[in-house]
Amino acid sequence: MDYFDQNQGERQTIDSAMPDRVTIMEVGPRDGLQFEKKILPTPLKVELITDLVEAGLQEIQVASFVNPGIVPQMADADTLVAQLPEQAGVVYNGLVLNSKGVERAAAAGLKSVEISISASETHSRRNVNMTLKEATAQAGEMIRLSKELGLAIRAGIQCVFGFPDEETIPFERIQSIVEGFMEKGIEILCLSDTTGMADPGKIDAVMEKICPVVGDLDMALHLHDTKGLGLVNVQTALKYGIRHFDASLAGMGGCPFVPGAAGNIATEDLANFLHTLHIETSVDIKKLACCSRRLEAFFEKRFSGRMHRL
C-alpha cells in the first residue's frame, strides 16, 4: 500500500512513512478529568501536570475554557494555567469552544489552543447546538482571534470515523472542513474518533484520501478505545507517517453519546506499544504509571488502562 504525497511528487511506501519518533499529547487533565464528578482540587491538578512534565510529556492539554456550570471540573481553568510552571520545550494547550474561551485562554497565559468542530451534523447539533455551517463560521472567527492574540492553533475535527446516528461521514465533508482550516492557517490538524467507531479499515479509508489533501501539514489522531481497537488503529495510522497522537492517563475519559464506552487510549499503554515498535516518545512509563495509580486512588475507581497495573 502507498499514498501520493503532493509535496514530494512521488508515492511513498508505508515503510518509508513510518516515523521513528512520536509526540504524545496528554489530554487526561482535560478530556479525562471532565467526565469525573468528584472534583480534583487545583493544587493536585498542578502537581499532576508537573509530574507529567517530569515524566517526559512535552504537550499537555491542561483544561477547557467552558461554562463551569456545564463542566464543573474545568471551573478552575484560568487559575490552574496561571499556576503551571514554565518549562522549556513544553507546550500547554487548552480547548476553547467560542471566542470568549479564546480570550480567557490567552489572558490566563496559554500559548496554544485547540479549536474543534464536528464532521457529524447530528453530533454538532447535540454537542454545541449548532449546525455544521454555524460551527464552521464560528471556528473561523475563533481562528482569526487566536492569530490576533498570538496563539498557536490546533484544529480538530470530531467524529471523523462515524457517529452512532450517522455512521458514515462523507469524506467530501471532512475534506471541506480540512481545506477551510488550512486556508485560515493552522499549526496542526487533529482527526478525532470521538465515539470510538474507528477500525483499521476506516483508518485506511480516511488516511489514504486525507494525506494528499494536507500535504506537509502535521496531523494528529485522537483515538478512543471503545471497542478495544485503540492501539491497532494507532499501528494502522503509523503507516501513513502520523507522528502525533492524543492519549489520557490510565485511559480516563469517554463519550457522552456512547454510554458505557471506554475512554481514550491510556498514555502509558500507548507509550509502551510505541516503544515495542522501536519508536521514541521521550516518555518515562514508570513515572506515568505512578500518576495513573494516584488518580485511581483519588477517584476510587478502576480505569481501563493496563500498564499502570504492572
- Contact between 26 and 295 under an 8 Å Cβ cutoff? The reply is no
Reported as a single tens digit per residue, the pLDDT across 167-215 is 789 999 999 999 999 999 999 999 999 999 999 999 999 999 999 999 9
Burial 286-310 (b: 16+ CB within 10 A, else e): eebbebbebbbeebeeebbbebbee
Which residues sit opposite 170 in a β-bridge?
none
Least confident of 10-24, 167-181, 238-252, 255-269: 10-24
Angle between helices 171-184 and 200-214 (to 10 degrees): 40
Judged against a pLDDT cut of 80, whether residue 10 lies above it is answered with no
In CATH, 2-309 is 2.40.50.140: no
The yes-or-no answer on residue 190 being catalytic is no
C-alpha cell at 150: 498570538
Judged against a pLDDT cut of 90, whether residue 291 lies above it is answered with yes
Name the active-site residue from 159, 255, 290, 291: 255
Q: Cβ of 246: how many Cβ atoms within 10 Å?
A: 27
Reported as a single tens digit per residue, the pLDDT across 100-123 is 999 999 999 999 999 999 999 999
CA distance 297 to 201: 37
Q: Determine if the pTM surpasses 0.85.
A: yes
Q: What is the reported pLDDT for 263?
A: 84
CA distance 289 to 150: 35
Where exactly are the structural domains of the chain? 2-309
Q: What is the reported pLDDT for 140?
A: 98
Query: What is the average pLDDT across 296-305?
Result: 94
Judged against a pLDDT cut of 60, whether residue 4 lies above it is answered with no
Phi and psi at 100, nearest 5°, equal -60, -40
Q: What is the reported pLDDT for 254?
A: 81
